[in-house]
Copies of this chain bind each other. A is one copy, B any other.
């Protein structure tokens, strides 16, 4: 099942530059692990904003939540979630 997640990052203002760099490195690592597993299908930057749009294919809502909440910056993000399904007008067979 497919989810669209829009994540907006809010780094706490009190964090040192080292702490920020550490979080960003671990965020990258976690995100790429899920991308390489094939479950995190797309990861795009929203042009001009500290935000991303992601397409995630999970086996269940639990797995989707596990993926998103494993991100080190998860507690510092505003996330909008849409559960997607096949559109009657869609012609592609893949990714719904």
Contact = CB atoms under 8 A, between A and B. Distances in A.
A84 B53 contact: yes
B3 A44 contact: no
Interface in A9-30: 11-15, 27-28
A13 to B, nearest CB: 4
A26 to B, nearest CB: 11
Interface string A13-52: 1110000000000011001100110000111111111101
Q: Is the interface of A mostly helix, strand, loop or mixed?
A: mixed
Contacts of A2: 44, 61
A4 B13 CA distance: 27
A82 to B, nearest CB: 5
